[in-house]
Homo-oligomer: A and B are copies of this chain.
Amino acid sequence: MNLGKLLKQVAKGEVSAVDAENIMAAHGETNLGFARVDLDRLRRRGLAEVIFCPGKTADQIVCIMSALVAGGQNVLATRATPEQYAVVRQAHAQAVYHELPKAITLRMVEPGPPVGQVAVVCAGTSDIPVAEEAALTAEVMGARLERIYDVGVAGLHRVLNHVKTLQRSRAIVVVAGMEGALPSVVGGLVDRPIVAVPTSIGYGVNFKGLAALLAMLNSCAPGITVVNIDNGFGAGVAAALINRVGEPAA
Stoichiometry (number of copies): 8
Mask of A102-125 contacts with B, CB within 8 angstroms, 1/0: 000000000000000000000111
Q: Are B218 and A154 in contact (CB under 8 A)?
A: no
Q: Which residues between 134 and 151 of chain A lie within 8 Å of chain B, taking CB atoms? A: 149-151
Which residues on B sit within 8 Å (CB–CB) of A54?
Answer: 126, 203
* Chain B contacts for A34, CB-based, 8 A: 125, 128, 149-150
Asked if A188 meets B156 with Cβ closer than 8 Å, knowing A181-B179, A204-B231, A227-B225, the reply is yes
Given the complex, which residues of B lie within 8 Å of A237, measured CB to CB?
A: 222-223
Q: B47 contacts A222, CB within 8 Å?
A: yes
Contact partner of A153 among B181, B204, B223, B224, CB < 8 A? B181
Closest 5 CB pairs of A and B: A46-B191, A204-B229, A225-B225, A181-B181, A223-B237
> Nearest residue in B to A171 (C-beta to C-beta)?
B245
**Are A193 and B154 in contact, CB atoms less than 8 angstroms apart?**
no
Partner of A180, one of B160, B179, B222, B241: B179
Sample 5 A-B pairs with CB under 8 A, ordered by A number. Answer: A198-B204, A204-B228, A204-B230, A223-B241, A225-B227
What distance in Å separates the Cβ of A133 from its nearest Cβ neighbour in chain B?
12
Stretch from A5-13, A18-26, A66-74, A207-215 at the B interface: A207-215
Given contacts A31-B150, A212-B218, 7 further A-B contacts (CB under 8 A): A44-B189, A56-B125, A124-B220, A179-B181, A195-B225, A213-B217, A224-B234
Note all chain B residues with C-beta closer than 8 A to A47. Answer: 191, 222
